[in-house]
């Protein structure tokens, strides 16, 4: 699928295996989420637009660049929260806009419960952050919100996806690329990614 970008980076593969492991404890899990978000965010931002400029060095004038676009980091609560800090360190000027969306356990449909976006868009590019893309309902709902806000350059940065979720996003938002660490086999009857890693929110925040 043309919107799919699955990282081939050895560090991503190594860290993902550690993240998945059933014995990885909360603290280590949070560290790995942060590091993986940084690596995938780096790949997702490879086409940010630049303005050419010059910069004064101790030896003279060098050509240089500055970012042209304002970047928004949009974590989907809760699990996306752990992906913010690593990317924010790389792009300290980024704005962080939280979206609260949870998945109804019975219907598996997304339910929105928090959105404080101002009326006018304040960024040109948004990275939607959520480690898990299962049915894809939460991601599609988040992207719907951002497009309605007025942002057209949107990227989804996740860790593990099910084929069902990739398909749903591609159907609804074919213009949104998906930056992922892995595509897993399937969803089980409860809508969990198999083999996946369990519940990314619970494993980060110790709420299992
Ligand atoms: C999980 C996950 C995604 C969503 C993925 O969140 O973090 O947001 O489910 O599922 P989907 O692709 O089928 O929509 P959850 O609803 O468990 O909320 P939480 O992060 O608050 O635990």
Question: Tens digit of pLDDT for each residue in 24-73?
Answer: 999 999 999 999 999 999 999 999 999 999 999 999 999 999 999 999 99
d(C-alpha 39, C-alpha 14), whole Å: 12
pTM of model > 0.95: yes
Ligand 1 near 132 CB (within 6 A): yes
Is there a catalytic annotation at residue 103? yes
Q: How far apart are CA 78 and CA 100, in angstroms?
A: 7
pLDDT for 2 beyond 80 = no
CB atoms within 10 A of CB 194: 10
Q: Is 136 in the pocket of ligand 1 (CB under 6 A)?
A: yes
Nearest to 3 by CA among 176, 191, 182: 176
**pLDDT number for residue 1:** 63
- The domains of the chain are located at 4-205
DSSP track, 107-170: T--EEEEEE---SS---SEEEEE-SEESSSHHHHHHHHHHHHHT--EEEEE-SEE-HHHHHHHH
Q: Closest ligand 1 atom to the C-alpha of 110?
A: 14
109-118: per-residue pLDDT in tens?
999 999 999 9
For residue 78, give the nearest of 113, 117, 36 by alpha carbon.
113
Closest CA to 30 of 201, 179, 157, 180: 201
CA distance 13 to 183: 12
Closest atom of ligand 1 to 162 CA is 12
Assess contact for 6 and 158: CB atoms under 8 A. Answer: no
CATH number of 4-205: 3.40.50.2020
Residue from 75, 132, 169, 203 to probe ligand 1 pocket by mutation (most atoms less than 8 Å from CB) = 132
């Amino acid at each position: 699928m043309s919107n799919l970008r699955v990282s081939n980076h050895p560090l991503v593969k190594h860290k993902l295996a550690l993240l998945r492991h059933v014995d990885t404890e909360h603290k280590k899990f949070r560290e790995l989420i942060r590091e993986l978000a940084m690596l995938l965010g780096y790949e997702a931002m490879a086409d940010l637009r630049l303005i050419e400029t010059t910069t004064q060095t101790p030896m003279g004038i060098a050509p240089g660049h500055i970012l042209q676009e304002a970047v928004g980091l949009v974590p989907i609560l809760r699990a996306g929260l752990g992906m913010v800090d690593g990317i924010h360190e790389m792009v300290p000027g980024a704005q962080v806009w939280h979206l609260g969306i949870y998945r109804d356990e019975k219907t598996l449909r997304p339910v929105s419960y928090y959105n404080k976006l101002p009326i006018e868009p304040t960024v040109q590019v948004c990275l939607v952050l959520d480690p898990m893309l299962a049915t894809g309902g939460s991601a599609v709902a988040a992207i719907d919100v951002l497009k309605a806000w007025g942002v057209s350059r949107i990227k989804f940065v996740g860790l593990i996806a099910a084929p069902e979720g990739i398909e749903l996003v591609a159907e609804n938002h074919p213009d949104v690329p998906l930056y992922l660490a892995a595509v897993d086999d399937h969803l089980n009857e409860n809508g969990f990614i198999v083999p996946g890693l369990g519940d990314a929110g619970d494993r980060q925040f110790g709420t299992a």
